[in-house]
Amino acid sequence: MILFLAARPVTAPPVPARPRRAARRRGRSPGSGPRLRFLRPYARMFAVPGTRAFTAANLLARLPMGMFSVSAVLMIAGSRGSYALAGAVTAAGLAATAVVGPWTARLTDRYGQARVAPPAALLAVLGSLALVLCVRLDAPAWTLFASYVCTATTPNTGGMSRARWAHLFRADPRALHTANSFEQAADEVCFMLGPVLAAFLCTTLFPEAGTLTGAVLLLTGVLLFAAQRRTEPPAAPRTERVRSPLRRPGLPPLLLTFVCTGAVFGSLEVVTIGFADGHGVRAVAGGILALQAAGSCAAGLLYGLLPPAGRPAARFTGCVAAMTVLMLLPLLGAASGSLAVLAGTLLVAGMATAPTMVTGMGRVQALTPAGQVTEGMTLAVTALLTGIAAGSAAGGWATDHLGSGGAAYGAPAAAAALALTVTLLGRLRAARHA
């Protein structure tokens, strides 16, 4: 803010004071003007020492999460001429991740991120390199499955980052809400840019370029992230058997809602590709889906600026209800037959997904014991991946049987409605046992 000094002679032009001095004279710190005031929650979050370093490293490690599956499909389909084989290989890897992921997360909570994440990432990278070699050497199809299954040890970098924020802001729910909002926006950015980067590398350079680049980014990012020790949550060694977070009251219904939410994402992706393909413009499907992710990313960042209001369970129910209502918009937009209208409805519909995920992840953190936060986060991600796989299958069925005229968008709308139903039933059950 520029302040004018009134002590100057009338004949002389006013001389602006230096912003930093003016701010000090008014009792305010630099950067607290009206323009930057709304960003104060994020500035406060990253003012904690070490947070910028681990966030940058984590984003580097997280970007390949959106690259690996697309890279594998393009690489395998390009060399073997079979999308069915490529899809089966990636599905096998997804199933293996659902089994191995929580186990890796449990080890991370028990022995610490720095001890578990690097070797787990190294094993995953070796699996990716083995997949590249098998494709290059035209090895039998079963070797592709075996190689890709080895990537299931990929550490849940997003969960580890959220665990650090939960440790740093364990006594500050407002700051933790902002941190969770930022993490969800980061997820959206990585899964928006990852497939684009993978497709560019595989088609511009050579088919294996996407997988190799993702492997290098993953290992480098995890090593840099693990090196940031001062923000790492303390390990929780256990001398006796500890119950799984799945046994915590309220967590199973919440994870089931995550499965339904994942089905929204999976079906929406397949149905949009089918809609664009039916209109002869399949190449723009990625751009249309990117609008949905962009809307979610923007909403996530804005949601983090707002103080959490009301009880967390009620807030989560409201977010799921908003997602259910907004998921009707793509159905209406596709009925118009216009890609432009559909893109606009997807942009708006995406604005409810990030708040739902932010609030949901906050609920997972609250229901999970302090020494099992990474495991709880990984269970949530596993539920999402399971839902995405199921939603992809449902979206493919809807596209094949309902056509590409827009009726297939009933699949993501139905998945959102199912998520709301599960949430309401979970709250009703909790009220009965209260």
Beta-bridge partners for 4 = 16
- Tokens in use for 420? 């709301």
What would the two tokens of residue 332 be? 């209406």
Give me the half-sphere count of Cα atoms (radius 13 Å) on the Cβ side of residue 16: 6
From 371, 379, 382, select the one nearest 112 (Cα to Cα).
371
Residue 140, class by beta-carbon neighbours within 10 Å (0-12 exposed, 13-18 middle, 19+ buried)?
exposed
Residues 6+ apart with CB under 8 A from 198: 66, 67, 68, 70, 71, 74, 210, 213, 214
Instruction: Say if CB 345 and CB 409 are below 8 A apart.
Output: no
- Residues 405 and 263 reside in one and the same domain: yes
Q: Clarify whether residues 254 and 126 are in a common domain.
A: no
Q: Whole-angstrom Cα distance, residue 286 to residue 248?
A: 39
**Residue 171 and residue 313 share a domain:** no
Residues 197 and 261 in one domain: no
What domain range includes position 55? 49-234
Q: If we measure between CA atoms, which residue out of 385, 221, 191 comes closest to residue 297?
A: 191
Last residue of a domain, one of 203, 234, 265: 234
> Residue 97 has what pLDDT?
83
Do 228 and 266 share a domain, yes or no? Answer: no
Angstrom CA distances, 302 to 351, 358, 399, 402, stand at: 10, 12, 34, 37
Any domain includes 383: yes
Do 125 and 253 lie in one domain? The reply is: no
Token digits of residue 90: 């990636």
Domain for residue 95, yes or no?
A: yes
User: HEC states along 90-139?
Assistant: HHHHHHHHHHHHHHHHHHHHHHCHHHHHHHHHHHHHHHHHHHHHHHHCCC
* DSSP state letters, 3-36: -B-TTS-TTSPP-BPPHHHHHHHTT--TT-SHHH
- For residue 87, give the nearest of 98, 76, 78 by alpha carbon: 76
Phi-psi region of 310 (alpha: psi -120 to 50; beta: other; left: phi over 0): left
As for how many domains the chain has, the answer is 2
Residues 262 and 360 in one domain: yes
Question: What does the radius of gyration of the chain's CA atoms come to, in whole angstroms?
Answer: 24
Question: Which pLDDT score, from 0 to 100, does residue 405 have?
Answer: 66
Phi, psi (5° rounding) for residue 4? Answer: -100, 135
Residue 39 lies in a domain: no
In a domain, 314, yes or no: yes
Q: Flag whether 24 is in a domain.
A: no
DSSP letter for each residue of 133-178: HHHHTT--HHHHHHHHHGGGG---HHHHHHHHHHHHTTT-HHHHHH
Q: What is the DSSP string of 269-310?
A: HHHHHHHHHHTT-GGGHHHHHHHHHHHHHHHHHHHHHSPP-S
Residue 43: CA count within 13 A, CB half-sphere: 9
Listed residue (64, 83, 66) closest to 74, CA to CA: 83
Question: 335: Cβ–Cβ under 8 A, 6 or more apart, which residues?
Answer: 405, 406
**3-state DSSP call for residue 250?**
coil
Instruction: Say which CATH number the domain at 309 has.
Output: 1.20.1250.20
Residues in the chain: 434
Which of 234, 262, 293 finishes a domain? 234
Q: Tens-digit pLDDT profile for the chain (434 aa)?
A: 333 333 333 344 444 444 444 444 444 444 445 555 657 888 888 888 889 999 999 999 998 887 887 788 778 877 877 767 777 787 788 778 878 888 888 888 888 888 999 999 999 999 999 999 998 888 888 999 999 989 989 888 888 888 898 888 888 888 888 888 888 788 877 877 777 788 788 878 888 888 999 999 999 999 999 999 888 888 776 655 666 666 777 788 888 999 998 888 878 877 887 787 777 766 666 677 777 778 887 887 787 777 777 687 888 888 899 999 999 998 888 888 778 888 888 888 888 888 888 888 888 877 877 667 777 777 888 888 788 778 877 777 787 777 766 788 888 899 999 999 998 888 787 777 65
**Residues 312 and 368 both lie in one domain:** yes
Same domain, 153 and 107: yes
> Do residues 253 and 133 both lie within one domain?
no
Shared domain for 111 and 229, answered yes or no, is yes
* 262 and 388 housed in the same domain: yes
